[in-house]
Amino acid sequence: MAESKSLRVAYGETLVELGAENDKIVVLDADLAHATMTNGFAGQYPERFFNFGIAEANMMCAAAGFAHSGLIPFCSTFALFGAGRAYEQIRNSISYVNANVKLALSHSGLCVGEDGGSHQSIEDIALMRVLPGMTIFVPCDPIETQKAVRAAVEINGPVYIRVARPVCDCVTEEDTPFIPGKANIMRDGSDVAILATGLMIPEALKAADLLADEGIKAAVVNFHTIKPLDADCVLKMAEQCGAVVTAEEHSIIGGVGSAVAEVLAGNSNAKFARVGVNDKFGKSGKPADLFKAYGLTAENIAANCKKLIK
């Protein structure tokens, strides 16, 4: 079993590796390098690291300039500040012109914990998903984070990588495929399909175990790529199981639940439910307590599955 670590640590370590392999990679941060873990890259390659201070919009515009100069900029800050505060710059200076900028934004979702609702971005996927040409990765563990960062370098255009804060166990393997736009079936089943992403993958697997104890065969599918979404896999699982439940650490509006609903609409008669943040802001608390309070648990996923297939 690979080492448990925070996804932001895995991101920082991968940046250092890539810095040695590709001298076109530059890293930009907004005075949070110690938290986003870009400080490792800054220490190794100070001439390719740029701290813009608390000026996220300026950082995004500068990243576009780096990209137009043939470099590959990685921008990092908290997801709320990057996706939210600098949204217009991402839209017009990066996405609109298909600039080759990578947005690796950390401290996403409820797992920021005690920082509270003002810092918990539960709408960042929705904001990025609506932008034409934006690729979105939501890795579930350290191994997948490393693969997402490396995959982003190979994509010519803007990429958003949603990086979580907590220490996570590895639920994928080094040889698990990571193909952008191609979901991974982690467990097969015939009664209900749990389509999950990010930190909800371990909860989805636990939910499948709970359901198995009751004789219910649940499939678990890892949608590490939210855009482009693997529509073929969505429809395949819907046909195979007849019931689909999505699970995400994000608002049920605009995230993977919405993306799957858009695929199913008019194309499938499968029963459907969404597990996520139900049109509310976050609040301060320990991540585990928040996950329980907002229903982001294996038990709630299992309950939604059973409700659909009754």
> Catalytic residues, which ones?
56
3-state secondary structure 58-97: HHHHHHHHHHHCCCEEEEECEHHHHHHHCHHHHHHHHHCC
**Residue written as token pair 């065969």:** 217
